[in-house]
Amino acid sequence: MISIVDYGMGNLQSVQKALAKLGFEATLISTPEEVKAATKLIIPGVGAFGDAMKGLAERGLVPALREAAADGKPIMGICLGMQVFFESSEESPGVEGLGYFKGTVKRFIPNGHKIPHMGWNNLQICGKPRLLAGLGNEPFVYFVHSYFVAPTESDVAAATCEYGETFVAAVERGNLCGTQFHPEKSQDVGLGILANFARI
């Protein structure tokens, strides 16, 4: 059973449907008690960093999610859901993230490129992350974002991407992983990523 965290923001049903297509049962949860009872968690998200953290805090989910990470439960963040894994964001100064990873979230500098970064782009996989296993050398995935994570610890990067500059497109360390792109919108490659997480 995979639990998808509902905190008032995100593409919950599309993630749930993608997992169902793969044959994995997923349920939506929204309380600290449900987080504590879960065995595996996905935090999706679309929108602003500050609004996301407000939604998590209002439901009392922040301590429960930090405890779940410390307990070693597999947790995957998608898009904004991965950004809140970090300590802070330029999008919402003064707002504290979950702090799973050290680092912040930065806004793209246009450099002649349209912001948000929207559409298909290829990944450069770093090492051998379990989340991205079996996808080939440079798989194409679907992005919609204006901000990207900037870890201060290089070992958490699972994949990078180029869009005017090199940015971290996926992270993984221990029981924690995430993607800046949307696996549920990335066709067969995305389904493969969700299946990899479901099997962790």
Could you confirm whether 182 is annotated as catalytic? yes
> What is d(CA 170, CA 163) in angstroms, rounded to the nearest whole number?
14
> Using the 8-state DSSP alphabet, how is residue 139 labeled?
-
Please identify which of the residues 79, 126, 161, 177 carries the catalytic annotation.
79
Is there a catalytic annotation at residue 117?
Answer: no
Of 187, 183, 181, 185, residue with least CA distance to 196: 183
The catalytic position among 87, 91, 172, 184 is 184
Work out the angle between the directed axes of helices 187-199 and 12-21 (0-180°, nearest 10).
80
Residue 199: partners with Cβ closer than 8 Å, 6 or more residues away: none
| Residue of 117, 172, 177, 182 marked active site | 182
184 has catalytic annotation: yes
Q: Indicate which residues carry an active-site annotation.
A: 79, 182, 184
